Amino acid sequence: MGKHDHIICLELSNRLSELANIQEALEANAERLGVSTAMLMSLNLVVEEAFTNIVNYAYADQEQHTIAICINRNDQQLVITLTDDGQPYDPTQNADPDIELPAEKRQVGGLGIFLIRKIMDKVEYERKDNKNYLILTKNMTQ
């Protein structure tokens, strides 16, 4: 075990009200995950954008589903994995918005996935056993 090895896992239902629980869990574990106050906000944003996308777009039915979020920290990396049983959806295929356009030409929306890509160092998607896995990696300096 390295000095930073730590893992937290949350099992949440597909409701936006769970965002408060995500925030609380991140704040409570920030120190153990070796995350500074400045980085806490961007990590919260990353998890919020990914979670919100799943809640809003992954499910065609009105049933309750479980979305799992695991945050795994080792000496070199912090890895966030979101797992859901929704429809296949690969956000890594989304086109980036043009962020150099003037305000009147900017699209309202579409920034969520883009911000995840900017903040994290690696964004990977896998589909297996009828589940979506979104794996977000941030390289951590010692």
Partner 1 sequence: MNVTVITKDEHTVVALRGRLDTTQADAVEKEVVEILDQKHSHIIFDCKEMDYISSSGLRIFLIAQKRMMATGGQLKLCSLQAGIQEIFDMSGFSMIFSIFPDLESALNG
Contact segment (CB under 8 A) with partner 1 among 13-21, 57-65, 69-77, 134-142 equals 13-21
Among 1, 63, 102, 130, the residue binding partner 1 under the rule CB under 8 A is: 102
Rule CB under 8 A: say whether 95 interacts with partner 1: no
Contact (CB, 8 A) for 48 and 19: yes
Question: Which lies closer to partner 1 via its Cβ, residue 107 or residue 142?
Answer: 107
Q: Scan residues 31-60 and list those touching partner 1 (CB under 8 A).
A: 38, 41-42, 44-45, 48-49, 52
* Closest approach of partner 1 to the CB of residue 112, in Å: 4
DSSP reduced 3-state for 67: strand
Contact (CB, 8 A) for 60 and 87: yes
CA atoms of 33 and 50, how far apart (whole Å): 19
CA atoms of 55 and 14, how far apart (whole Å): 5
CA atoms of 73 and 80, how far apart (whole Å): 9
Rule CB under 8 A: say whether 100 interacts with partner 1: yes
CA atoms of 47 and 78, how far apart (whole Å): 13
Question: Which residues are at the interface with partner 1 (CB under 8 A)?
Answer: 16-17, 19-20, 23, 38, 41-42, 44-45, 48-49, 52, 99-104, 106, 108-109, 111-112, 114-115, 118-119
